[in-house]
Structure 1
Amino acid sequence: MAGPTETQAYLIFAVGSLAMLFMAGAIIIFVAFYQKRMLNEQLRRQSMEAEYQRKLLEAQLESQERERARVSKDLHDDVGLMLQALRTTTLAVIHQAPEEDRQEVQQMVSEITESVRRISWDLMPSSLERFGLTETIDELCMRLHKRGLPVHFELEGVAISLTKRNEVLLYRMTQEMVNNALKHAKASSIDVKLQWHTDKLMLQVKDNGVGFELPTSVNYSPIGSGLGLLSLKSRADLLYAQLTFEKNSPSGTVISVTLPLLHG
Structure 2
Amino acid sequence: MTRFLLIFCVFICLAPLCHAQLPLLKKGYADSVTQVLQKETNDSIKAKLNFILLYCNLDDSAKADHHLMEGRRYGQKYPLMLAQSYAHEGYLYFNKDISRSEVAYLKVDSILQKDTSKNGYLVRSNAWQNYAVLQQVKDDDATFVDIVLNKAIPLAKLSGDSVLLGSEYTNVALAFTNTEQYDKAEEYFNDAIAILKSASKEHSRLLIAYYRAGENKINLGKYEEAKIILDTMAVLLAPYPETELYAGYYLVEGLYHHKMKQYDSALISYDKGITSAAGVNGKYRIDELELLKTETLIEQKSFAKAKELLSRLSKDESLMETNLNRLKIYGGLAASNAGLNNFQQAHIWLKKHSELNDSLHQTRLKKDINALEVRYKNAESQKEIMALKAKNEQAALSSKNAWLLTTLLATACIFLLVVIIFALLYYRSQKKLAARKLQEIEQQKQLDVAKAMLDGEESERRRLARDLHDGLGGMLAGVKMNLSGTANTTQDEKLFQIIHQLDNSVSELRRIARNMMPESLLNFGLETALKDMCELNFAPGLAIRFQSLGVQPDLPEKTQIIIYRIAQELLANAIKHSGANEIMLQCSQNENIFYLAIEDNGKGFDPKAAGGKGLGWDNIRNRIEFLKGKIEVDSVPGEGTTINIELNVSE
Structure 2 length as normaliser, TM-score?
A: 0.33
Other structure's SS at 1:204 match? strand
Structure 2 Cα separation of the partners of residues 246 and 143 of structure 1: 26
Aligned ranges for residues 245-264 of structure 1 at < 5 Å? 245-247=633-635, 251-262=639-650
Give per-residue Cα distances to partners, 1:23-66, cap 9 Å, x unaligned. 9xx99xx9999778655543432232121011011101111111
What is the match of residue 129 of structure 1? 522
Question: Given that residues 627 and 649 in structure 2 are in contact (C-alpha distance below 8 angstroms), is that contact kept between their aligned partners in structure 1?
Answer: no
What is the match of residue 179 of structure 1? 572
Other structure's SS at 1:184 match? helix
Query: 1:170: how far off?
Result: 0.5
Give per-residue Cα distances to partners, 1:194-237, cap 9 Å, x unaligned. 11334522111112223232259xxx8435xx222222111111
Question: Given that residues 248 and 254 in structure 1 are in contact (C-alpha distance below 8 angstroms), is that contact kept between their aligned partners in structure 2?
Answer: no
Question: Given that residues 483 and 495 in structure 2 are in contact (C-alpha distance below 8 angstroms), is that contact kept between their aligned partners in structure 1?
Answer: no
Structure 2 Cα separation of the partners of residues 59 and 261 of structure 1: 18
Other structure's SS at 2:537 match? helix
Point out the more displaced range, 194-203 or 254-263.
254-263
* 2:622 counterpart of 1:243: no
What is the match of residue 25 of structure 2? none
Point out the more displaced range, 128-137 or 138-147.
138-147
Kindly tell me: are residues 32 and 208 of structure 1, through their superposed partners in 2, closer, same or farther at Cα, counting changes over 3 Å? Answer: farther
Residue type matched to 2:555 in 1?
L
What is the match of residue 468 of structure 2? 75
Kindly tell me: are residues 118 and 37 of structure 1, through their superposed partners in 2, closer, same or farther at Cα, counting changes over 3 Å? Answer: same
Question: Given that residues 195 and 202 in structure 1 are in contact (C-alpha distance below 8 angstroms), is that contact kept between their aligned partners in structure 2?
Answer: yes
Q: Comparing both chains, which one has the higher relative contact order based on Cα–Cα distances under 8 Å and sequence gaps of 6 or more? A: 1
Residue type matched to 1:151 in 2?
I
Question: Given that residues 604 and 635 in structure 2 are in contact (C-alpha distance below 8 angstroms), is that contact kept between their aligned partners in structure 1?
Answer: yes
Structure 2 Cα separation of the partners of residues 165 and 90 of structure 1: 42
Kindly tell me: are residues 93 and 53 of structure 1, through their superposed partners in 2, closer, same or farther at Cα, counting changes over 3 Å? Answer: same
What is the match of residue 222 of structure 1? 612
Q: Give the structure with the higher percent strand.
A: 1
* 2:620 counterpart of 1:232: yes
What is the match of residue 4 of structure 1? none
Query: 1:128: how far off?
Result: 1.4
Kindly tell me: are residues 47 and 229 of structure 1, through their superposed partners in 2, closer, same or farther at Cα, counting changes over 3 Å? Answer: farther
What is the match of residue 97 of structure 1? 491
Question: Given that residues 210 and 251 in structure 1 are in contact (C-alpha distance below 8 angstroms), is that contact kept between their aligned partners in structure 2?
Answer: yes
Residue type matched to 2:468 in 1?
L
What is the match of residue 144 of structure 1? 537
* 2:192 counterpart of 1:192: no
Query: 1:144: how far off?
Result: 0.8
What is the match of residue 208 of structure 1? 601
Question: Given that residues 578 and 604 in structure 2 are in contact (C-alpha distance below 8 angstroms), is that contact kept between their aligned partners in structure 1?
Answer: yes
Structure 1 Cα separation of the partners of residues 622 and 608 of structure 2: 15
Structure 1 Cα separation of the partners of residues 585 and 510 of structure 2: 23
Q: Aligned-residue CA RMSD in angstroms?
A: 3.1
What is the match of residue 327 of structure 2? none
Residue type matched to 1:258 in 2?
E
Q: 2:435 aligns with which of 19, 42, 47?
A: 42
Point out the more displaced range, 54-63 or 139-148.
139-148
Query: 1:74: how far off?
Result: 1.1
Kindly tell me: are residues 150 and 107 of structure 1, through their superposed partners in 2, closer, same or farther at Cα, counting changes over 3 Å? Answer: farther
Residue type matched to 2:508 in 1?
S
Structure 2 Cα separation of the partners of residues 169 and 140 of structure 1: 15
Q: Give the structure with the higher percent helix.
A: 2
Question: Given that residues 527 and 551 in structure 2 are in contact (C-alpha distance below 8 angstroms), is that contact kept between their aligned partners in structure 1?
Answer: no
Structure 1 Cα separation of the partners of residues 596 and 637 of structure 2: 19
Q: 1:168 aligns with which of 561, 565, 568?
A: 561
Kindly tell me: are residues 189 and 65 of structure 1, through their superposed partners in 2, closer, same or farther at Cα, counting changes over 3 Å? Answer: same
Point out the more displaced range, 200-209 or 127-136.
200-209
Question: Given that residues 607 and 633 in structure 2 are in contact (C-alpha distance below 8 angstroms), is that contact kept between their aligned partners in structure 1?
Answer: yes
Point out the more displaced range, 192-201 or 147-156.
147-156
Structure 1 Cα separation of the partners of residues 429 and 608 of structure 2: 33
Question: Given that residues 213 and 222 in structure 1 are in contact (C-alpha distance below 8 angstroms), is that contact kept between their aligned partners in structure 2?
Answer: no
Structure 2 Cα separation of the partners of residues 121 and 195 of structure 1: 24
Structure 1 Cα separation of the partners of residues 457 and 592 of structure 2: 30
Residue type matched to 1:243 in 2?
I
Point out the more displaced range, 228-237 or 253-262.
253-262
Kindly tell me: are residues 210 and 41 of structure 1, through their superposed partners in 2, closer, same or farther at Cα, counting changes over 3 Å? Answer: farther
Point out the more displaced range, 240-249 or 83-92.
240-249
Residue type matched to 1:116 in 2?
L
Question: Given that residues 544 and 584 in structure 2 are in contact (C-alpha distance below 8 angstroms), is that contact kept between their aligned partners in structure 1?
Answer: yes
Kindly tell me: are residues 103 and 151 of structure 1, through their superposed partners in 2, closer, same or farther at Cα, counting changes over 3 Å? Answer: farther
Question: Given that residues 188 and 209 in structure 1 are in contact (C-alpha distance below 8 angstroms), is that contact kept between their aligned partners in structure 2?
Answer: yes
Structure 1 Cα separation of the partners of residues 542 and 448 of structure 2: 37
What is the match of residue 511 of structure 2? 118
Structure 2 Cα separation of the partners of residues 251 and 47 of structure 1: 43
Structure 2: give runs of 5+ residues left out of the alignment: 1-416
Give per-residue Cα distances to partners, 1:163-217, cap 9 Å, x unaligned. 111111111101111111112223322211111334522111112223232259x
Structure 1: give runs of 5+ residues left out of the alignment: 1-22
